[in-house]
A and B are shown apart, each in its own frame.
Chain A
Amino acid sequence: MLIVHDLAHARAGDKGHSVNVSVTAYDEAGYERLKRELTEARVAAAFAPLADGPVRRYALPGLGAFNFVIERVQGGGVTATGALDIHGKSLSSLMLTIPLPGNEPEG
């Protein structure tokens, strides 16, 4: 099964009590597939052990990219958490593990 890593690259940024993860497709076909399958619900499920959510998705078709904002990261955000990755910077890599089953309807 394809994972996001096969179609796109990602970068995470700390926003205090939330984290943003951008996902940039390598090509237009990848962008269209991500648009169908990398839904807010799927991202929220992958991040459930780390963040209460909700998750917001912003589409940037001109850049072939999406920006995901994941709310309420557990532990009180960047400056107060005891987590090893206090900035959530490695969360881009978690985004890249998300499977894309490919059975979503076209369009």
Chain B
Amino acid sequence: MAGDRVRIGSGAGFAGDRWEPAVELVERGGIDYIAFECLAERTIARETLALRRGQGSGYNPQLEDRMRAVLPPAATQGVRVLSNMGAADPLAAGRKTAEIAAELGLDDRRCAVLLGDDVRGAVAARPDLPLMETGAPLESILPRMASANAYLGADAVASALETGAPVVVTGRVADPSLFVGPIIHVLGWDYDDYVRLAQATATGHLLECAGQVTGGYFADPGVKDVPGLARLGFPFADVTDAGSVTIGKCDGSGGRIDAATCTEQLLYEVDDPGAYVTPDCVLDMTGIALDEAGPDRVALRGARAQPRTDTHKVSIGYFDGYLGEGLLSYGGPNAVARARLAGEIVAERLRLRGFAYDALDARLIGIDSLHGPGATRPEPYEVRLRVTGRTQDRKAAEAVGFEVAALYTNGPAGGAGDAASVREILAVQSVLLPRHLVTPRVEVVDAG
């Protein structure tokens, strides 16, 4: 039975997001659904690695905290929960979710798990596919591949909702599709109705980063202020069967929603605004208008779309060596010159010891660590030297931090506060896989 409107909330904008604003939405936002978008490009590769090494569950590390906070009010309010927190092991995430629901004494512990995004086998059989970022063939990174996940679409999300389970857990799903799924499910829209899919996809894109549309990542004190940022509320969208969309947030929550915050989020991580490709459609944002429809309410209209492509984007995580890092601070008179000298000494010592790097950089935090060298940068009172070395050799990576720490007694005067790290680099590139090679399926898990 199709409804004529739906209110869908956004519970997270990244893997490590806060969850108090999600609880607020569930408890008093009047929402029907809440979706938690918790998968960045590298997240699945990272979780795959953690799982393989016995250092993690394979799913989002905050899944348990989030579910414990959200499931009880969601059950009380009749709000259905969706999330891609399943990451590298959606089935384990689903079982854990059902187990938590049982522990909390909830009546309906079912969790629908969306599978089929893991396409390691399918891509391994197609080493000829070109990598979207570099054009090189996939086979150049295949031996080092850690994960390969297709971006599933709203049709797959909607099929998980059709099970009736109160919670849906997925692996890789296109971020907007996590929101488009419940919209087409509730409103009974045809998956080929591109006029409506366009509005739904633009809505999903506005919601997918949660607080980034309600005033998060926006404040510039004295220039564009955000009231109550510490109590930042997360957004919801009201979508009607006619395809009208209004973005809002809970009354009394912090933050702001207006044309400015919505415009920043609409264009976030967008290449050509006339062709934003999702598994559901190719969204054209160029005709979109954002009308302020009241305090903290913005109406979105004018989204258009072209039909979906015949491929799924697949994100491939692979091992790409190590990054060694060393940090040391300098302050007071001539701090910049002492820090520069320290960086040169580290580079020379690493060379003398015979280590080689794909890239070895010495930057000063306070001068050129974010935006590179600039012509007219004022000299700050203190700077922090940051030396990084990218290499396939773990020992060479470890030597970077070692030589920075050794500056204490062997370098310029006044170095302080050393820190060092070595991490494995998980890089990500993408390929396009024909649609027929991707087969989403749904499994419902329950707890006894």
Are A and B co-members of a single complex? yes
| Closest CB in chain B relative to A38 CB, distance in Å | 15
| Closest CB in chain B relative to A64 CB, distance in Å | 7
A44 on the interface (CB 8 Å rule)?
Answer: no
> A105–B359 Cα gap in the complex (Å)?
43
Say yes or no: A82-B323 contact (C-beta < 8 A), given A49-B373, A60-B273, A62-B302: yes
* A-side interface mostly: mixed
A63 near B266: Cβ-Cβ < 8 Å = yes
> A60–B270 Cα gap in the complex (Å)?
13
Chain B contact residue count (CB 8 A cutoff): 55
> A9–B365 Cα gap in the complex (Å)?
24
For chain B, residues 257 to 311, give those with C-beta under 8 angstroms from any C-beta of chain A: 259-260, 263-274, 285-290, 302
Q: Which residues of A contact B373 (CB under 8 A)?
A: 49
Q: Which residues of A contact B374 (CB under 8 A)?
A: 49
| Closest CB in chain B relative to A51 CB, distance in Å | 9
B191 on the interface (CB 8 Å rule)?
Answer: no
A63 near B134: Cβ-Cβ < 8 Å = no
How many A-B contacts at CB < 8 Å in the complex? 121
Q: Which residues of B contact A5 (CB under 8 A)?
A: 223
B427 near A65: Cβ-Cβ < 8 Å = no
Chain B 216-248 against A: per-residue CB contact (8 Å), 1 yes, 0 no? 011010011000000000000000000000000
A63 near B288: Cβ-Cβ < 8 Å = yes
> A5–B260 Cα gap in the complex (Å)?
14
Chain A interface size band reads 35 or more
For chain B, residues 420 to 435, give those with C-beta under 8 angstroms from any C-beta of chain A: 425-430
Q: Which residues of A contact B429 (CB under 8 A)?
A: 16
For chain B, residues 111 to 150, give those with C-beta under 8 angstroms from any C-beta of chain A: 132-134
| Closest CB in chain A relative to B262 CB, distance in Å | 9
> A75–B224 Cα gap in the complex (Å)?
32
> A99–B40 Cα gap in the complex (Å)?
34
Set B41, B223, B260, B371: member contacting A16, Cβ < 8 A: B41
| Closest CB in chain A relative to B172 CB, distance in Å | 15
B389 near A82: Cβ-Cβ < 8 Å = yes
Q: Which residues of A contact B271 (CB under 8 A)?
A: 15, 18, 20, 69
> A24–B134 Cα gap in the complex (Å)?
30
Q: Which residues of B contact A62 (CB under 8 A)?
A: 286-289, 302
Which of B132, B323, B371, B430 counts the most A-chain CB atoms under 10 A from its CB?
A: B371
A33 on the interface (CB 8 Å rule)?
Answer: no
Closest to B268 in A: A13
Closest to B287 in A: A62
Known contacts A11-B265, A83-B369, then 9 further A-B pairs from the complex at CB < 8 Å, ordered by chain A residue: A5-B223, A16-B429, A17-B133, A58-B273, A64-B263, A67-B273, A79-B320, A79-B427, A94-B371
11 contacts between A and B (CB under 8 A): A16-B133, A17-B134, A20-B267, A58-B274, A62-B288, A62-B302, A69-B271, A77-B427, A80-B320, A83-B369, A94-B371
